[in-house]
Amino acid sequence: MARSALLNVMVQAARKATRNIRRDFGEVENLQVSMKGPADFVSAADRRVEQALHQELERVRPGYGFLMEESGAIKGADQSHRWIVDPIDGTTNFIHGIPHFAVSIALERHGELVAGVIYNPIMDELFVAERGGGAFLNDRRLRVTQRRELSDAVVCCGIPHRGRGDHALFRHELARVQAKATGIRRSGSAALDLAYVAAGRYDAYWERGLKPWDIAAGIVLVREAGGTVSDIDSGRDMLQTGNIMATNDALHGELGRELKAAQTASSARQAAG
Ligand code: 2AM
Ligand code: CA
Ligand code: CA
Ligand code: CA
């Protein structure tokens, strides 16, 4: 596959920034892990990878803006382009020695997502997609699954973190989907969850309370693999709401109805006290 110049730049940045990550992964005790909030960790590796990505992307595309998990928003001279970056998505896995985390880089042009790269450096799995150009895993073209019913589907979800989100609503959602689906998974990396939907490993995925850097690149991947991505509850922009549902398209209606029914049941329960 001949990759575009843009994707090449993003892939180079992802590879360069994670050059030392295997060493870090094996020596987490030296990584000055600290807490940003309840159950919300950050390590020296997150900061190092983010800095390296910032440096490299700024070098190859000077003036683009940035939105990064650890450093926040940086305005660029070029107002029409913005990188959305999560240096390590799956920090809790990283810290616990679970080899399931990834770098996530997306590019927004005039407010629209046009490219995404998600790289798991431990598995050496590189997921890339550019709008209109398809989605790929290590040069293999990706396609979502064709399963048409939840009863045949493996569905991934995110569980609200301690001190955040609507835990009661999640329990209703889980109960409904669990009663229908073949299996439920929870991985701890939203970026990889979306990449796995694109790759046909999961048939569907939903999670609430996410940030733009968790999902921006994955949205491009799922769309380019033929899947559907949307906000869970409304037609609003999921980058803003952080409540995302991604499916192989065929399952979008059925999963949406289950999540809607869960919402109704949860509200009724709350109203009843
Ligand atoms: P992170 O590893 O980059 O922080 C998994 O459900 C998703 O939630 C991941 O994208 C993860 O991103 C994010 N996450 C993990 N812990 C979190 C917390 N305490 N608060 C908010 N988001 C969190
Ligand atoms: Ca984090
Ligand atoms: Ca993240
Ligand atoms: Ca992160």
Which tens digits make up the pLDDT trace of 141-192?
999 999 999 999 999 999 999 999 999 999 999 999 999 999 999 999 999 9
CA distances in angstroms from 119 to 19, 88, 226, listed in the order given: 12, 10, 20
- Does the annotation place 130 within a ligand binding site? no
* Residue 68 to residue 71: CA distance in whole angstroms: 6
- Does the annotation place 88 within a ligand binding site? yes
Per-residue pLDDT tens digits for 23-70:
999 888 899 999 999 889 999 999 999 999 999 999 999 999 999 999
Say what the pLDDT of residue 78 is: 97
CA 261 to ligand 2 center in whole angstroms: 30
- Give the three-class secondary structure for 226: coil
Amino acid identity of 19?
R
Is 2's pLDDT higher than 90?
no
The residue ranges of every structural domain in the chain are 5-141, 150-272
- Does the annotation place 215 within a ligand binding site? no
Is 4's pLDDT higher than 90?
yes
Q: Is the CB–ligand 1 distance for residue 39 below 6 Å?
A: yes
Q: Is the CB–ligand 1 distance for residue 85 below 6 Å?
A: no
Per-residue pLDDT tens digits for 220-266:
999 999 999 999 998 899 999 999 999 999 999 999 999 999 999 99
Q: How many CB atoms lie within 10 A of CB 112?
A: 9
Say what the pLDDT of residue 28 is: 87
**Interface confidence (ipTM) of the complex:** 0.97
Q: Is the CB–ligand 1 distance for residue 90 below 6 Å?
A: yes
CA 256 to ligand 4 center in whole angstroms: 27
Burial 201-238 (b: 16+ CB within 10 A, else e): bbbbbbbbbbebbbbbbbbbbbbbbbbbbbbbeeeeeb
Whole-model pTM: value is 0.98
Residues 6+ apart with CB under 8 A from 28: 43, 94, 95, 97
CA 70 to ligand 2 center in whole angstroms: 8
Q: Is the CB–ligand 1 distance for residue 89 below 6 Å?
A: yes
- Does the annotation place 24 within a ligand binding site? no
State the pLDDT confidence band at 1, using cuts at 50, 70 and 90: low
Task: Give the β-pairing of 134-137 and 140-141.
Answer: antiparallel
* DSSP 8-state assignment for residue 238: H
Q: Is the CB–ligand 1 distance for residue 214 below 6 Å?
A: yes
CA 39 to ligand 1 center in whole angstroms: 9
* Residue 227 to residue 172: CA distance in whole angstroms: 25
Q: Is the CB–ligand 1 distance for residue 70 below 6 Å?
A: no
- Does the annotation place 98 within a ligand binding site? no
Question: Phi then psi for 66, rounded to 5 degrees?
Answer: -135, 145
Residues 6+ apart with CB under 8 A from 102: 88, 89, 90, 118, 119, 120, 121, 189, 191, 192, 195
Per-residue pLDDT tens digits for 67-121:
999 999 999 999 999 999 999 999 999 999 999 999 999 999 999 999 999 999 9
Contact 83, 69 (CB under 8 A): no
Q: Is the CB–ligand 1 distance for residue 158 below 6 Å?
A: yes
Per-residue pLDDT tens digits for 125-140:
999 999 999 999 999 9
Fold match flag (5-141 vs 150-272): no
* Residue 78 to residue 20: CA distance in whole angstroms: 31
Task: Please report, to the nearest 10 degrees, the dihedral formed by the alpha carbons of residues 239, 69, 157, 176 taken in order.
Answer: -60
Q: Is the CB–ligand 1 distance for residue 96 below 6 Å?
A: no
Beta bridge partner(s), residue 130: 115, 134
Domain 5-141 has CATH 3.40.50.80: no
CA 209 to ligand 1 center in whole angstroms: 9
Is 206's pLDDT higher than 70?
yes
Say what the pLDDT of residue 26 is: 86
Q: In the CATH hierarchy, which fold is given to the domain comprising 150-272?
A: D-Maltodextrin-Binding Protein; domain 2 (3.40.190)
CA 1 to ligand 1 center in whole angstroms: 33
Is 123's pLDDT higher than 70?
yes
Contact 263, 169 (CB under 8 A): yes
